[in-house]
Structure 1
Amino acid sequence: MSLKSDKTKKLIIDTLVKLMGEKDFDKITVKDLTDALDINRGTFYLHYKDKYDLLEQIENEILGEINEIVVTSQKKLTSGFIFPANEEAVLNTFISIYRYINENADFMKIILGPNGDLSFQMKIRNLVEDWLVLNVPVSDAAEKLPIKYLAAIASSAQLGIIQKWLKSGMKETPEELASFVRDIISSIYKGVIKDLIENPYYNKKD
């Protein structure tokens, strides 16, 4: 995250992450945060309305920066979206995303873990679904494919991979994980989706 312009805000964020590693967010109070930091409540309220505003600002920045990674990748292409034709672009995009998660691992482990925010996990899934629904190219013969359902499966799988990676100690490098995910995406698109496209049901005339 790039919330580093204000030292106090950075300390508040770091303290929230530490406390969320110890107990559920619902049980954390502003007093817990200010006591841990040895600051008065007024200082906290100069930056945030309440603990929910604090968490929302952090989450929104994460979502914005992950989205920016994908937008930047798209801008580098001369035509089309990164998925699935350009496997190199797919790989580089996932490497950038996983590097970002790795750089912010302390918070990501918490927010995507058992004491995390389920609504944030839903936002991550929705973000991935939106990318896929809008950008997966389909032929005329495949217009009837239930892309929205395939996107839902893919987004849940992506979130699960990230959670597993974080929980297992991130033994794979971002590059290794990205390569693995790229290969899965390629196999699914060339196998499952290709089979669906060639299925007579999706090619029949209305």
Structure 2
Amino acid sequence: MTKVDRRILKTQETLKKAVLELMAEKRFDGITIQDLSDRANVSRGTIYLHYMDKYDLLDKLIESHINELRERCEAAADMDFISGSLIWTEYFEHNYSFFSMMLASKGAPYFRNRFLDFLLEEFRDEVDVTKGKNQGLSEDLTVRFVATAYVGVVEWWFTNDKPIPHQTLAKQLGTLLERNCN
């Protein structure tokens, strides 16, 4: 495995932080490379050494969080829904600024769809339409219902500035998942 230079990692982290800070101030479409350059205190050329454009930077930032959630899903594979949800809500809590920015009105409009696509993929294996309450229902419809509801609740939690503790969110989401996936 190739070791990445710490200076490269530091520059990339600085640029990711800068884009989030700028998104707190204005819509993503209004952010320029010069804005990023000024905020991160790097040259425009440095930005282009690491990313093709601002969309590439945002895509990489989003993908890093989706990949982390995917790894947490794999780690929680043998857990019940409540314990698995706690792992996620702890991650949401720890990365509050990113998720609240992405799910708030000034956030990247395509993040919600990317997050939903990820959840559709993850919940596909969890929904069972061969027995129980979901027997005879369309698998696609049921998976979409569960994933969309999950996104909606997480979005509500962030846009309302965490009205309940993340542990309570995890317990209630886990309970709802158990009711709707089995």
Superposition map of 1:135-146 within 5 A: 135-139=126-130, 144-146=136-138
Question: Aligned partners of 2:149 and 2:23: how far apart in 1?
Answer: 25
Superposition map of 1:1-206 within 5 A = 6-74=9-77, 77=78, 89-139=80-130, 144-188=136-180
Deviation at 1:116, TM superposition (A): 1.7
CA shift digits 1:32-73 (9 cap, x unpaired): 011123321112122111101100101111111111111111
- C-alpha deviations, 1:172-196, integer Å up to 9, x for none? 2221111111222334457xxxxxx
State the number of aligned residues.
174
Secondary structure, aligned partner of 2:106: coil
1-structure distance, mates of 2:143, 2:130: 17
> By how many angstroms is 1:140 displaced?
6.4
Task: Say which one has the larger Rg.
Answer: 1
Tell me, in whole angstroms, the C-alpha distance in 1 between the residues paired with 2:121 and 2:72: 15
The DSSP-based 3-state class of the residue aligned with 1:134 is: coil
Show structure 2 runs of 5+ residues with no match. Answer: 1-5
Q: State the SS of the aligned residue for 2:76.
A: helix
Letter of the 1:107 counterpart: F
**Contact 2:116–2:148 under 8 Å retained in 1:** yes
C-alpha contact 2:128 2:139 (8 A) present in aligned 1: no
Q: CA deviation at 1:127?
A: 1.7
1:31 offset after TM fit, Å? Answer: 0.3
Amino acid of the structure 2 residue aligned with 1:148 = D
Moved over 6 A (4+): 140-143
Q: CA RMSD in A?
A: 2.0
CA deviation map 1:76-124 (0-9, x unaligned)? x3xxxx6xxxxxx211111111111111111111111112223221121
Q: 5+ unaligned residues in a row in structure 1: which ranges?
A: 83-88, 191-206
User: Secondary structure of the equivalent of 1:135?
Assistant: coil
Q: Distance in 1 between matches of 2:178 and 2:75?
A: 22
The residue number in structure 1 matching 2:3 is none
Q: Which residue identity is paired with 1:44?
A: I
Q: Deviations over 1:116-162 (max 9, x none)?
A: 22322112112222222233234369664212111111111111111
Give distance in 2, aligned partners of 1:116 and 1:15: 14
Identity of aligned residues (%): 24
